[in-house]
Amino acid sequence: MRLSPTHPRYRSLVVRAGLARACRSGVVVPEGLIAHGRGEAFDYLLGERTRPGARRAERAAAEWLRAARHPVLSVNGNVAALAAREVAALACAVPGLSVEVNLFHRTPARARRIAGVLRAAGVDPVLGVRPTARLSGLPSDRARVDRRGIFSADLCLVPLEDGDRAEALRARGQRVISIDLNPLSRTSRAADLPIVDELTRALRAIAAEAIRLRRRRRPPRWVEFDADRARAEALREIARNLNRAATRRRDAPIRA
Amino acid sequence: MRLSPTHPRYRSLVVRAGLARACRSGVVVPEGLIAHGRGEAFDYLLGERTRPGARRAERAAAEWLRAARHPVLSVNGNVAALAAREVAALACAVPGLSVEVNLFHRTPARARRIAGVLRAAGVDPVLGVRPTARLSGLPSDRARVDRRGIFSADLCLVPLEDGDRAEALRARGQRVISIDLNPLSRTSRAADLPIVDELTRALRAIAAEAIRLRRRRRPPRWVEFDADRARAEALREIARNLNRAATRRRDAPIRA
């Protein structure tokens, strides 16, 4: 299918076509496409831009990643398909950050394929292809992790994750940063630091801030973050956008 | 994968698993899964139930379908995968209603497969498998229609459609009833009668109302419907739900 750059939803269409290809090649599972659609809806309602509240969360995330003893970024099929380059750039900007493949729908071939996508983008090493440990209390394959990675991390950055997993990490005393466009999702609600923003925008913003902090030689610190307030802010912003749209007739897109 | 009925999102998970299967068999395309995810997000925000405003729209839709000279229900892959039985039941409740396969991503094999799903559910005849006419001004395969169906219809019921198509039908002077959970979508905005409700709930409600009207021997009539008001109502309802959720801490699901 050819996509016309004049289409009002051109960018969304390009991303969708890329994910559809990634589904055909087995990097993304069908359930991942449905999850992407949910995210799209929330991004649309948020105006498809990084709100000031999300920017604050991204700055705090950069501080936490620098302050952590052993931070790990968890990657699933959607993350690899949507943002492999951004993952590589963040791993470069935060030298202590490990990258681990962690899948709900795991097969050895799929894990290898996703690791290949990450390596091609410059991520090295990629943990989690052959799991060496198990998180207790998680019935899914999400429990299968790398002993040197998620298992021993003090901070996990979990983009586009499922709620069970985020809750299991917190129960183990690990801090969780989520990137999820749905401020009501179980992942967002379980996270210590929920970033309610689109994946590539969030990863780029965190990387840029981490580089800035390093250049200024700021000492690492666990800055405070009010997760409840951040979620409530995002919800109120969507509500405002909708009420504004409701007062227009045959209205323009939500960001206009 | 086994699904546990105790999971808080059990029903969604069952529907998702069914769509994933339909994707593997070629009835649903990957883009259709992403579209389903968008719908899921809006259904969640609407409380996953039929609001009074949607119920009013469904009653009006039943009146319009009875009043039309030649009403046609357009079916794509998602509609066949999600609601083939409901399509058959509606076609039975509204004897004049034709059912036509109409696809954005069309191949002859896929059209036949979708027609097979509909026939297995009791729909007969199924139009649109071999298109015999073309709608002008539509660049996609959506333009390829049946001369006895969408081409000559005075009323089209278009669930889960794309905006281009709904606009093209209106430009031809055909009335459009949409079923789309996103009140801001181009389809909802183009429709004369937008139903903002989940597909199976909407089709069942329209069928039940059509049967009721027939039993009471009500004369067919084009009841008035204020589309702008219906859309604005849905938007305000979502906004109310979100503001309510924002005042809760570590909150419960939106419908609680």
Q: Region B93-107: what's the mean pLDDT?
A: 95
Q: Is the pLDDT score of B19 beyond 50?
A: yes
What pLDDT, on the 0 to 100 scale, is given for residue B12? 83
Range among A5-9, B224-228, B238-242 with highest mean pLDDT value: B224-228
| Residue B164, token pair as written in the block | 């281009």
- Record: contact A105-B1, CB cut-off 8 A: yes
Contacts 24+ apart (CB under 8 A), A110-117: A110/A26, A110/A27, A110/A29, A110/A77, A113/A25, A113/A26, A113/A27, A114/A27, A114/A75, A114/A76, A114/A77, A114/A80, A117/A27, A117/A80, A117/A81, A117/A84
CA distance B234 to chain A (A): 8
Residue A53 makes CB contacts below 8 A (sequence gap 6+) with A196, A230, A233, A234, A237
| Residue A63, token pair as written in the block | 């501080």
Instruction: Indicate the residue type of B6.
Output: T
Q: Is the pLDDT score of B251 beyond 50?
A: no
What pLDDT, on the 0 to 100 scale, is given for residue A95? 94
The 3-class SS string of B185-236 reads CHHHHHCCEEECCCHHHHHHHHHHHHHHHHHCCCCCCCCCCCHHHHHHHHHH
- Record: contact B105-A1, CB cut-off 8 A: yes
CA distance B19 to chain A (A): 8
**Measured between beta carbons, which residues in chain A are less than 8 angstroms from residue B141?**
none
| Residue A94, token pair as written in the block | 């935060």
* B30-45 vs A10-24: helix crossing angle, rounded to 10: 120
What pLDDT, on the 0 to 100 scale, is given for residue B75? 97
**Measured between beta carbons, which residues in chain B are less than 8 angstroms from residue A232?**
246-247
| Residue B40, token pair as written in the block | 């899921």
Instruction: Indicate the residue type of B166.
Output: A
What pLDDT, on the 0 to 100 scale, is given for residue A256? 36
Does A41 lie at the interface with B, CB-CB under 8 angstroms?
yes
Q: Phi first, then psi: give them for residue B226, nearest 5 degrees.
A: -95, 100
Q: Which carries the bigger pLDDT value, residue B160 or residue A226?
A: A226
Q: Is the distance from CB of A198 to CB of A43 less than 8 angstroms?
A: yes
For residue B243, the surrounding DSSP H or E stretch is helix B227-247
- Record: contact A249-B238, CB cut-off 8 A: no
- Record: contact A30-B20, CB cut-off 8 A: yes
CA distance B232 to chain A (A): 4
- Record: contact A235-B246, CB cut-off 8 A: yes
Residue B98's SS3 state is strand
The residues facing B74 across adjacent strands are B100
Mean pLDDT score across all residues of chain B:
92
Local confidence band at B137 (pLDDT 50, 70, 90 cut-offs): confident
For residue A116, the surrounding DSSP H or E stretch is helix A108-120
Distance from C-alpha of B41 to C-alpha of A196, rounded to nearest angstrom: 15
Q: Over the stretch A171-199, which tens digit does the pLDDT of each residue have?
A: 999 999 999 999 999 999 999 999 999 99
Q: Is the pLDDT score of B87 beyond 80?
A: yes
Strands A144-145 and A133-134: antiparallel
Q: Phi first, then psi: give them for residue B166, nearest 5 degrees.
A: -60, -40
Residue B130's SS3 state is coil
CA angle A188, A189, A190 (to 5 degrees): 95
Local confidence band at B96 (pLDDT 50, 70, 90 cut-offs): very high
What pLDDT, on the 0 to 100 scale, is given for residue A67? 97
The residues facing B155 across adjacent strands are B71, B175
What pLDDT, on the 0 to 100 scale, is given for residue B118? 98
Residues in chain A predicted with pLDDT less than 50, given as ranges, are 1, 251, 256
How many Cβ pairs within 8 Å bridge chains A and B?
124
Q: Is the pLDDT score of B252 beyond 70?
A: no
CA distance A218 to chain B (A): 32
What pLDDT, on the 0 to 100 scale, is given for residue A251? 47
- Nearest CB among A20, A34, A184 relative to B36 is that of A34
* DSSP-assigned letter for residue A236: H
What pLDDT, on the 0 to 100 scale, is given for residue B160? 87
Q: Is the distance from CB of A115 to CB of A103 less than 8 angstroms?
A: no
Distance from C-alpha of A146 to C-alpha of A128, rounded to nearest angstrom: 5
Q: Which carries the bigger pLDDT value, residue B139 or residue A7?
A: B139
CA angle A161, A163, A168 (to 5 degrees): 100
- Nearest CB among A42, A232, A246 relative to B232 is that of A246
**Measured between beta carbons, which residues in chain B are less than 8 angstroms from residue A253?**
184
ipTM field:
0.89
Q: Over the stretch A43-84, which tens digit does the pLDDT of each residue have?
A: 999 999 999 999 999 999 999 999 999 999 999 999 999 999
What pLDDT, on the 0 to 100 scale, is given for residue B256? 37
Q: Region B136-142: what's the mean pLDDT?
A: 86
